[in-house]
Each structure stands twice: as structure tokens, then as C-alpha cells.
Amino acid sequence: MAETTHRRRTRDAPDTADSFALLATLPPGPERDRLRQDVIAAWLPMAERISLRFRSSGESPADLRQVAALGLVNAVDRYDPGLGHAFETFAVPTINGELKRHIRDHAWSVHIPRRDQELRTAVRTAQTVLGHRDARARSTPAELAAETGLTEEEVRRGLAAEGVHNTLSLDHPVLGADDLPLAETLGWADRALDLVVDRQALRPLLSALPEREKYVLYWRFFGNLTQKQIGARLGVSQMQISRILSRTCARLRRELLDKTGSPGRTAGGVSP
């Protein structure tokens, strides 16, 4: 049966009908393996051409060619010439399917539901069509919805999915920010915010302390004096200052815990 019947042949679609017919009759062995490899090699340019359709997916061309070649091998092994269909009509959707599965499972930097991936593809296709039809820079969600048959909410989901297909390195320079690395333009959690509530609750407890304990805490935690330096100012030993600090911090911690019902911290958020 001629493989090229009623079909315009492309330059990467060789006539291998006789080879497939022979392949179907050969038993496993070196002769069949050699013929199989020859058939795969003959159709490999077509597989590579199909892989080019996915070059905007973010995957490297080498990876796409490898996946397309795998799809071709699967198509060769599963093709049944006895059904009367040309090999190309079976191989093309097989290779396309292999590439789409690979991109769905591996090309996304952040995994999103399959439905959102499908919406992204539909929206991108509609953007291309509308872009050719109208030279305006961007189509509205309403126009995209009319083109795709989706709802505007689904279009917005597809547009949002576009942003997670590829991610930027934290070292990537940000234009308009003196080319600073992305990491230096991002905010971060201020750990001091965790202490705000405790410090406010601690304020009246500090006010109730005897004057000597107030001075000891102030010099130690805000004046950055050593226990020996504080002792010299008060005319007592370093050991006495250590006891005052331990006793006062334990008292404040206990009173703070009783007042707030949350794990207390030492005065100033540091240990004596």
C-alpha cells in the first residue's frame, strides 16, 4: 500500500511504506533492529521540525529534540501499517503529545493546575490571532474571551498563569532600579515587629521596678556596659550585678507571662 496516497509529500516525510511492511513481518533480531533504526533515522528530521513549534516554551532546543525523538520512537514501535493510515498521520500527533506532556510536567517553574495551563495556551493563541488582526499593543480580557469562547474570569486565570511559567534568579538585574539585583528590591519580615506587643506590655512593669534595678537594666541593655562596669558605677561587685540582672529578668518574665498569657522574653529581648 503506498504511504503517500492522496497526500502532498514534505521533504522530511520519506517514503518508508515498504520498510514498515517488512518490519511488521520480521521476528525480533539484528535484522529487524537495523531496519527499525533506519526508519527512525529517516523520520528524525520531521521530529526535529515539530520540536521547533515549542521553542517558546522555555525548554532548551536540545531537550525538545530529545523528547520529539522519543515520541518518534514510540510512534515507530506502535504503528500498524495494516490499518491503512500513512505513518505521518500517526506520528505527528504522537510526537506533539509527547512534547506537550513534557512541557506540562517539566517546563513550569511553579506547578499550577492543568486547567490553568490549558487556559494560558488558549489565551496566548487568541492574543496572537488578535495581534495579527489588529496592530494594537494589547487585547482586553473581553476581546480575548470573545475570541476563545472562555469567560473573562477564565481569561484572567490564563493571563495570570503566564507569569509563573518562568521565574527570575534573585541575582537578575532589575531595570529602572539602577540595575540592582532582584534580591535587593524585595522586602523581608522585620523580626523586631514580633517584639512590639511584648515591649508595650513590658513598659508598665519596668516603671514599677526599684530605681537601682532600672539603672542596671538600662546600662546593661541600652548602654552596652559590662556587668563589671555597672558594678563600678554602683559600688558593688560584678557578681552582685549578675544576681540583680538574673533576679530582675526572671521577675519581669514571670509578670509578663502572667499578664499576656504568652511566652515571655527577657528585658530588651536579650538575655542578661
Model confidence pLDDT, tens digit, residues 235-249: 999 999 999 999 999
Q: Is the pTM of this model over 0.95?
A: no
Task: Decide if domain 192-269 falls under CATH 1.10.10.10.
Answer: yes
Q: What is the dihedral of CA 114, 115, 119, 120, to 10 degrees?
A: -20
Dihedral sign computed on CA atoms, order 110, 111, 112, 114: positive
Of residues 266 and 239, the one with the higher pLDDT is 239
pLDDT tens, position by position, 74-87: 999 999 988 888 99
Percentage of the residues of the chain whose pLDDT score is greater than 90: 34
Query: Exposed, middle or buried by CB within 10 Å (0-12, 13-18, 19+), for 169?
Result: exposed
User: How many CA atoms are closer than 13 Å to the CA of 272, on its beta-carbon side?
Assistant: 25
- 192-269 matches 17-106 in CATH topology: no
Cα–Cα distance measured from residue 118 to residue 104, given in angstroms and rounded to the nearest whole number: 9
What per-residue confidence (pLDDT) applies to 228? 92
Q: Kindly report the number of other CB atoms within 10 A of residue 227's CB atom.
A: 20
Query: Exposed, middle or buried by CB within 10 Å (0-12, 13-18, 19+), for 244?
Result: buried
φ and ψ of 37, to 5 deg: -65, -40
**Residue 156 reports pLDDT greater than 80:** yes
SS3 label, residue 174: strand
What per-residue confidence (pLDDT) applies to 176? 60
What CATH architecture does domain 17-106 belong to? Answer: Up-down Bundle (1.20)
Q: Are 208 and 202 in contact (CB under 8 A)?
A: no
Q: What is the dihedral of CA 126, 52, 88, 97, to 10 degrees?
A: -60
What per-residue confidence (pLDDT) applies to 264? 43
What per-residue confidence (pLDDT) applies to 267? 44
Average pLDDT, the chain: 81
Residue spans of the domains in the chain: they are 17-106, 114-166, 192-269
Q: Kindly report the number of other CB atoms within 10 A of residue 120's CB atom.
A: 21
Q: Kindly report the number of other CB atoms within 10 A of residue 32's CB atom.
A: 15
What per-residue confidence (pLDDT) applies to 5? 39
Question: How is residue 30 written as a grid cell?
Answer: 539484528
Which alpha helices (DSSP H) does the chain contain, by range? 17-23, 30-51, 61-78, 87-106, 114-133, 141-148, 152-162, 196-207, 211-221, 227-234, 238-260
- According to DSSP, the β-strands at 173-174 and 180-181 are antiparallel
Q: Mean pLDDT, to the nearest integer, of 140-157? A: 88
